[in-house]
Amino acid sequence: MTRYLVLLGPPGVGKGTQAKILSERTGLAHISSGDLFRENLKNQTELGKMAQTYMSRGELVPDDVTIAMIRQRLSRPDCAVGAILDGFPRTPAQADALDAMLQEFKGCVDAVPFITAAEDVLVERLSGRWTCRAHGHIFNEKFNPPQKTGVCDFDGSELYQRDDDKAETVKRRIHVYLEQTSPLIAYYRDQGKLIEIDGMHSIEQVSQSLLTALKMQSS
């Protein structure tokens, strides 16, 4: 059965970590809009260069380019079984565009897990976050350290700290989330699709809550 899930929650709550785990355990494709922008930036594409201005300020990339990028990604064959959307939609216009897009693919947003955590925890998690260069695996120097400092446990690639994980930019990103993305909580609650998940527990506990709430078997 094709399933499309939207992971909602503030920056630093663990959407990326949980989306990776859910994708591995369910076989659904993982689509991270932030990763797609970072990949474009690494490859110095026109899209990447344009997005960089917004990303470095902690602001949102304009809706039209973001929507076009996601449409292209959703058309790829690995999404035929469905997808976990992480970081998209982030505005009501993006959510409307997603509904229209999925109609074209004869699907719809099935469920929206909304992961929550206290704001001071978000700042602490983001400022201690280390990301793997090769595949975006995520570690935290305090809560989920790699076995060897600076090296990814999964693929041995270098770990780096994202520019936008610096304290000032983190605060801006949380502000942007509250202003532009939080209206989506009501949007999906009104559709009866929102499932609240407490993100203040361990990574494994949160994954289990997600799988149980979504009534999905771990493979």
Instruction: Supply 184's token pair.
Output: 């989506």
Instruction: Supply 202's token pair.
Output: 């361990």
Where in 78-97 is the site for ligand AMP (CB under 6 A)? Answer: 87-88, 90, 94
Interface with ligand AMP, residue 34, by CB under 6 A = yes
Which span sits near ligand AMP by CB under 6 A: 19-27, 53-61, 183-191, 193-201? 53-61
Catalytic site includes residue 76: no
Helix H or strand E encompassing 83: strand 82-86
Catalytic site includes residue 173: yes
Catalytic site includes residue 3: no
Please, what's the b/e burial string for 80-104 (b: 16 or more CB within 10 A of its CB; e: otherwise)? eebbbbbbbbbbeebbebbeebbee
Instruction: Supply 68's token pair.
Output: 């076009």
DSSP bridge partners of 160: 131
Catalytic one of 20, 73, 90, 125: 90
Do the bridges between strand 129-132 and strand 159-160 make them parallel or antiparallel, or are there none, so unpaired? antiparallel
Interface with ligand AMP, residue 140, by CB under 6 A = no
Catalytic site includes residue 172: no
Q: Judged by CB under 6 A, how many residues of this single chain contact ligand AMP?
A: 17
Interface with ligand AMP, residue 33, by CB under 6 A = yes
Catalytic one of 20, 38, 73, 129: 129
Q: Which residues bind ligand AMP (CB under 6 A)?
A: 11, 33-34, 37, 54-55, 58-61, 66, 87-88, 90, 94, 164, 173
